[in-house]
Amino acid sequence: MKWLLRALIGAGVVLAGLAALVAWLNLRGEESIPPDASPASFVSSPELVKRGEYVARAGDCTACHTARGGAPFAGGRAILTPFGTMFSSNLTPDEKTGLGRWSSQHFWRAMHNGRSMDGRLLYPAFPYPNYTQITRQDSDALFAYLRSLPPVEQPATPHQLRFPYNTQLALAAWRAMFFEPEPFKEDPAQNAAWNRGAYLVRGLGHCNACHGERNVFGATSESLEFSGGLIPMQNWYAPSLASSAEAGVADWESAHVVALLKSGTSPRGVVMGPMAEVVYRSTQYLSDEDLNAVATFLKGLPQTPPPAKPRKPIEYDPAQMQAGERVYGKHCAGCHGDSGEGVARAYPALAGNRSVTMASPANLIRIVLNGGFLPATASNPRPYGMPPFLQTLDDVEVAAVATYLRGSWGNEAKPVEPVDVLRLR
Amino acid sequence: MKQAHAQPPASRRFVRWALGCLVFAATLAQAQTQPPEAAASGVPDTIGQRATACTPCHGKEGRATNLGYFPRIAGKPEGYLYNQLVNFREGRRDYALMTYLVDQLTDDYLLELARYFASVDLPYPPPQTVNAPAELLARGRSLALEGDKPREIPACVRCHGEALTGVRPFVPGLLGLPRDYLIKQMGAWRTGVRHAASPDCMAKIAQGITPEEVAAVATWLSAQPMPADTHPAAPQPASKLPMRCGGLDVPLAGGTP
């Protein structure tokens, strides 16, 4: 029995060591907060509040922290994840249910280290793996802005997460593996615009929350930072920002990137679905200087080579193509043109459109099914819209028209099957 | 700036590996027990052209289709249509596709869309419901025209106009709508799925009547031919209404709050 005892002791030592290591990894890099830290000592100013409002826009805080039809920043919005449903917290300065008793130091620790005022580890649905990069000045400005809001008494809705994701232990393990508090570091080899763009895209903008690939633990990684991925639970594909076959902008004029993020439409493409929401709530409010910085950074991303052209041309089923052409002629050509040429500033061209030809047909199918308006932005306040065909076309017809689009006018992408449509209905 | 493919330190790699094994095993175990859950060329720069996005369900110019469920919106009062668009966006009405469509549209633009459909003046088709049982029709007629005083159920005509074609600018007409649509709306108010701005008078009324009465009144309404004048009636003072409704207090001049 000695061997068993030895094995148990050994296992115990390993576990204790592991626990200590996990604890250390979770708490490293934290500044100590004095026990009497309170909001009373925080000095705000109208300029700081204004700056904080801009930071809140750049971080798109309301996307999660304002419930549909609810008071701004009062939380309570359900966030669906593969691990269960989470509910955003109340950021208004209410004493009982909001951030009323938080000091700016506590707020900084939440943004930079991902820990709440009471010491709890926060779930990374709150994108602190990105926000950890923001500066203390921006954190304080955001804090000043949130403190300037009217307090709203709205208690938190408890998360509905499955075991083991609902435990602090699982969260500690996740953080030990995937999170490290890191301030943004300028790259001296790049210019100021690139660095500002990197700060906005990687930090506040948390673009890789959708545009990055996630592993089985729901974590994004640096090597697949902007390589595209299916947005969990939403079934929209966030295209790669580093590929000319998807949403890469390396060969775009900067002005077109700026136009897309400012108005939702540009000569090179338009935004729909979740990105329409990002433009509507966040990027349309950024300064031209900041949007140019974002463009500089995105244009400079290391490019992944586009997928190799198939050796043989893709074979399309003539019957499916004919059916697709009939649907196109009846429902689509009136706006998008007989040859998918589109109409400038109203209806996007479909010939050469990367949303049509991307490897994943998810967005194409969703747009045919659900239609949608471009966001009504200050510079495009009366956008045109696309009708939903959910009620009028069946799966076979949607697959046929999608295949027709992917195989016409120089487009060459794999056919779509009715079952692909069924999955996204 | 970190290198794109930089290796994490050995301590992190070990922790990732060790905890990865544990959590992955837990994930597998979990997975087995619970499944995871223009001013543009050729295209008119008009609000009508923009509103074509609404037509597959609501019909050309909002005149409804033969799909049989989606309501006609042509000629409904502008304030009513505007309130509904805002209600979809703010989650007071529950129809995912509508919410998705209006989610990134401003109050100003929604009002412009509402005014467009309100301005469409088209003839109505004959009523959908035919050959309904006389008893059901009689019960529905009595509720619509007289209400039920002891139970404080006002007659439909008290608010929706003597001719039931609605009252400008906020109260919708009840004729020319599919029976299924009417039943669904009353049902949604009964179960708390559909809301209007508070105080939600229709919720109170719908919760005060039985499902059989909902069916009766919906059947009678959907069986009525349109009167000679199909337009919503002129506004009436709120004091003449049997109850207060939050949807009637909405400013319509335009301007995003």
Chain-chain contact of A216 with B27 (C-beta, under 8 angstroms): yes
Mutate to test the interface with A, among B37, B104, B181 (most CBs of A within 10 A): B104
CA distance B100 to chain A (A): 7
CA distance B193 to chain A (A): 14
What's the pLDDT score for residue A201? 97
**Residue B221 touches partner A, C-beta closer than 8 Å:** no
CB distance B90 to A70 below 8 Å: no
Indicate the domain borders of chain A. 28-178, 192-299, 318-424
Chain-chain contact of B108 with A381 (C-beta, under 8 angstroms): yes
Indicate if the pLDDT at residue B3 is higher than 60: no
Chain-chain contact of B101 with A388 (C-beta, under 8 angstroms): yes
One CATH from 3.40.50.10420, 1.10.1660.10, 1.10.760.10, 1.10.3720.10 for B129-249: 1.10.760.10
Indicate if the pLDDT at residue B18 is higher than 90: no
Residue window 71-100, chain B: list those with CB within 8 Å of chain A. Answer: 89-92, 97, 99-100
Mutate to test the interface with B, among A15, A384, A390 (most CBs of B within 10 A): A384
CA distance B249 to chain A (A): 17
**Residue B2 touches partner A, C-beta closer than 8 Å:** yes
What's the pLDDT score for residue B238? 81
CA distance B46 to chain A (A): 10
Chain-chain contact of B34 with A176 (C-beta, under 8 angstroms): no
Mutate to test the interface with A, among B7, B13, B14, B19 (most CBs of A within 10 A): B19
CA distance B173 to chain A (A): 25
Domain A318-424 = CATH 1.10.760.10: yes
Indicate if the pLDDT at residue B37 is higher than 70: no
Mean pLDDT across the stretch B191-201?
92
- ω into B199 cis (within 30 of 0): yes
What's the pLDDT score for residue A236? 95
Chain-chain contact of B91 with A84 (C-beta, under 8 angstroms): no
Shortest CA distance from A280: residue in chain B = B104
**Residue B70 touches partner A, C-beta closer than 8 Å:** yes
Chain-chain contact of B4 with A185 (C-beta, under 8 angstroms): no
Indicate if the pLDDT at residue B34 is higher than 90: no
Residue among A68, A371, A374 whose CB faces B90 most closely: A68
Neighbours of A292 (CB within 10 A): 18
**Residue B138 touches partner A, C-beta closer than 8 Å:** no
| Residue range B50-63, pLDDT digits in tens | 999 999 999 999 99
Q: What is the 3-state secondary structure (H, E, C) of chain A?
A: CHHHHHHHHHHHHHHHHHHHHHHHHHHCCCCCCCCCCCHHHCCCCHHHHHHHHHHHHHHCCHHHHECCCCCCCCECCEEEECCEEEECCCCCCCCCCCCCCCCHHHHHHHHHHCECCCCCECCCCCCHHHHCCCCHHHHHHHHHHHHCCCCCCCCCCCCEECCCCCCHHHHHHHHHHHCCCCCCCCCCCCCHHHHHHHHHHHHHCCCHHHHCCECCCCCECCCCCCCCEECCCCCCEECCCCCCCCCCCCCCCHHHHHHHHHHCEECCEECCCHHHHHHHHCHHHCCHHHHHHHHHHHHCCCCCCCCCCCCCCCCCCHHHHHHHHHHHHHHHHHHHCCCCCCECCCECCCCCCHHHHCCCCHHHHHHHHHCEECCCECCECCCCEECCCCCCCCHHHHHHHHHHHHCCCCCCCCCCCHHHHHHHC
Indicate if the pLDDT at residue B113 is higher than 80: yes
What's the pLDDT score for residue A35? 86
Residue among B26, B47, B57 whose CB faces A164 most closely: B26
Which fold does the domain B46-121 belong to in CATH?
Answer: Cytochrome Bc1 Complex; Chain D, domain 2 (1.10.760)
| Residue range B66-100, pLDDT digits in tens | 888 899 999 999 999 999 999 999 999 999 999 99
Indicate if the pLDDT at residue B8 is higher than 60: no
Token pair of A332 as six digits: 């689509």
CATH 1.10.760.10 positions along chain B are 46-121, 129-249
Chain-chain contact of A343 with B43 (C-beta, under 8 angstroms): yes
Shortest CA distance from A302: residue in chain B = B4
Amino acid residing at B29: A
Chain-chain contact of A21 with B15 (C-beta, under 8 angstroms): yes
Residue at token pair 């007409």:
B173
Separation between Cα atoms, residue A338 and residue B52, nearest integer Å? 18
**How many contacts, defined by CB atoms under 8 Å, are there between A and B?**
148
What's the pLDDT score for residue B24? 53
Residues of chain B contacting residue A198, judged by C-beta atoms under 8 Å apart: 1
Chain-chain contact of A186 with B1 (C-beta, under 8 angstroms): yes
CA distance A155 to chain B (A): 20
What's the pLDDT score for residue A356? 97
What's the pLDDT score for residue B41? 52
CA distance A2 to chain B (A): 26
Chain-chain contact of B52 with A381 (C-beta, under 8 angstroms): no
Chain-chain contact of B57 with A391 (C-beta, under 8 angstroms): yes
Which fold does the domain A192-299 belong to in CATH?
Answer: Cytochrome Bc1 Complex; Chain D, domain 2 (1.10.760)
CA distance A173 to chain B (A): 6
Indicate if the pLDDT at residue B10 is higher than 80: no
* Per-residue pLDDT of chain A in tens (425 residues, 90 and over written 9): 788 999 999 999 999 998 898 888 888 888 889 888 899 889 999 999 999 999 999 999 999 999 999 999 999 999 999 999 999 999 999 999 999 999 999 999 999 999 999 999 999 999 999 999 999 999 999 999 999 999 999 999 999 999 999 999 999 999 999 999 999 999 999 999 999 999 999 999 999 999 998 888 888 887 778 999 889 888 899 999 999 999 999 999 999 999 999 999 999 999 999 999 999 999 999 999 999 999 999 999 999 987 887 788 999 999 999 999 999 999 999 999 999 999 988 999 999 999 999 999 999 999 999 999 999 999 999 999 999 999 999 999 999 999 999 999 999 999 999 999 999 98
**Residue B198 touches partner A, C-beta closer than 8 Å:** no
Residues of chain B contacting residue A344, judged by C-beta atoms under 8 Å apart: 38, 40-41
Q: Name the band, by pLDDT with cuts 50, 70 and 90, for residue B204.
A: very high
Amino acid residing at B8: P
Residues of chain B contacting residue A22, judged by C-beta atoms under 8 Å apart: 15, 19
Separation between Cα atoms, residue A78 and residue B91, nearest integer Å? 13
Residue window 26-45, chain B: list those with CB within 8 Å of chain A. Answer: 26-27, 30, 34, 36-43
Chain-chain contact of A373 with B104 (C-beta, under 8 angstroms): yes
Residue among A180, A276, A389 whose CB faces B56 most closely: A389
CA distance B22 to chain A (A): 10
Chain-chain contact of A370 with B100 (C-beta, under 8 angstroms): yes
Residues of chain A contacting residue B52, judged by C-beta atoms under 8 Å apart: 335, 385, 387
**Residue B10 touches partner A, C-beta closer than 8 Å:** no
Mean pLDDT of chain B: 87
pTM: 0.90
